[in-house]
A and B are shown apart, each in its own frame.
Chain A
Amino acid sequence: MPRETASAVAGPPPAVTTRTAARERAARNRKVGVHGARVAVLAAFLGFWEVCARTDVIDPFNFSQPSKIWDQIQQWVTHGTAQGSLGEQIGYTLYEALTGWVIGVVGGVLLGIALGRIRFLADVFGPYIKVLNAIPRIVLAPIFLIWFGLGPASKVASAVVLVFFPVFFNAFQGAREVDRNLVANARILGADNRRVTLQVVIPAATTWIFTSLHVSFGFALIGAIVGEYIGATKGLGLLVAAAQGTFNAAGVYAAMTILAVVALLTEGLLTFAEKKLFRWKPADAGDGR
């Protein structure tokens, strides 16, 4: 119908503009639709949970309910937790996770690149790293607690062992799979081994490394939380443990919700950093070079 009126009034060119406009409008509508549906899914889920709890279909004592969780979060925010203010708990967990993450990433990247570049080291250490990787590393958390005590150090240690391996393997793979042409070109242009590593291998491996950074920050959080859960004086993991100890299901869920928000925010920051760092990459990776 719009096309008809347009061509009747002004001929083909306006028809084209209306068509682009229509396409834009459709794209906008689609976006609104997706966002709306997302919100609706969340609302339906929470609503269903709340209704089930209120009508005693599920036991609110065990399963809690969204309104109680919300109350719990509000209470923590306004009156603080039994261990101190909520901000302090979040700060502790973030501090442990971040420290562990940085150490794990630096170690993983350095060792990954070194082993990727130096065949001899890779051949010697390869089997050991595989064995260490095969251990379910989360069980190391109690050992770290014995070694390093209740303070942040034991949590940092569990975060490090969780972060190190994925970062290491990606850096190793990245260093191994650098385009041979690029390395040959750099060598012909006059680069020595050190320059090849610093200026060709590392930049080429950053894509691989960054992939692992996203995943590994999640691992760092897990390491810190599990460490705190097992034994700590501060932190979100301790909140979970304390709430569980008093059969406060709402407290467990509330701590989980806070964790999820923290994880999402840091993930967003990482994506932002990645965009800044990878300006040299084509915007659409699937577009080919």
Chain B
Amino acid sequence: MSKTPAIELTGATKRFRTPSGALHTAVRDLDLTVAQGEFVAVVGPTGCGKSTTLTLVSGLEEPTEGEVRVYGEPVTGIDPQVGFVFQQDAVFPWRTVLSNVMAGPRFRGVPVAEAKERARDWLGRVGLAAFEDRYPHQLSGGMRKRVALAQTFVNDPAILLMDEPFSALDVQTRALMSDQLLELWAGTGSAENAASVVFVTHDLDEAIALADRVVVMTAGPATVKEVFTVDLPRPRTVEAVRLEPRFIELYREIWASLGEEVRITRERGAGRAA
């Protein structure tokens, strides 16, 4: 691993001014390195600042302190190599499915015919070829998420940031989407290197099933608490890998670390409510 890491956060801190004027620290002194082609899952208690970490990497927000580097270069704006799948629906409701997937290449100046061809290819891969003329509101939640995936993958991102992308889906759809994600991910990037993924989730099952490494965040302000390597063989399918003894072992180990932070967050919430 002498190659430049895909993502490097060093001492990154992000503070926001809340509407009431107080200063809120979302991320504190965060160090995180993601190697090229690595799939990293980030887990942590609700509202701890996991999403903020992603916006720092994407260039949507700048760190207050510290440094964020993508392929060795400091992040100064939105990097065209970055793809971002949002937690909420972010497909354009006034565009058809095909037009939604074409949006990225079109924004980047690809001619219509080529954009259409690429979009059709990705729609085929996510299994929505027959729905290209529909509007998002005519699709189910899972289908809209697949549109979002195609929309992101069509740009061929070298870095893929995913912010609880499947949290709004029901359990069965979520497992299906996770498998599809692994499949799509295997088909990204160049031959020797798939895209590097940072996958934020609050679902530990999902994190272990998908990732090479699982990063546990502390209760907010977020910083890295512990990092676990998931030594489960690939290719994986979510339903099968869940039943392996090593999976259960890992789950127990990571939960011991994560559970404590969740408890802290919950107690704070209770303290605030009281």
Contacts and interface: CB of A to CB of B under 8 A. Distances in A.
A209 to B, nearest CB: 13
A186 B107 contact: yes
Interface string A170-210: 00000000010110111111111001000110011010000
A188 B92 contact: no
A192 B58 CA distance: 15
A181 B90 contact: yes
A62 to B, nearest CB: 54
B86 A187 contact: no
Contact of B86 (A184, A199, A203, A204): A184
Interface string A206-227: 1000000000000000000000
Interface residues of A, number: 23
A189 B107 contact: yes
B248 interface: no
The binding surface of chain B is classed by DSSP as: loop
Nearest to B161: A188
B89 A187 contact: no
Interface string B75-102: 0001010111010111111111000000
Contacts of A184: 60, 84, 86, 90
B44 interface: no
B78 A187 contact: yes
A154 B109 CA distance: 47
B45 interface: no
A185 B86 contact: yes
Given A186-B92, A189-B155, 9 more contacts: A182-B92, A184-B86, A185-B91, A185-B151, A188-B82, A189-B152, A190-B155, A203-B92, A280-B94
5 contacts: A182-B92, A185-B91, A189-B151, A190-B107, A190-B155
Interface of B: 58, 60, 78, 80, 82-84, 86, 88-96, 103-104, 107-108, 135-137, 151-152, 155
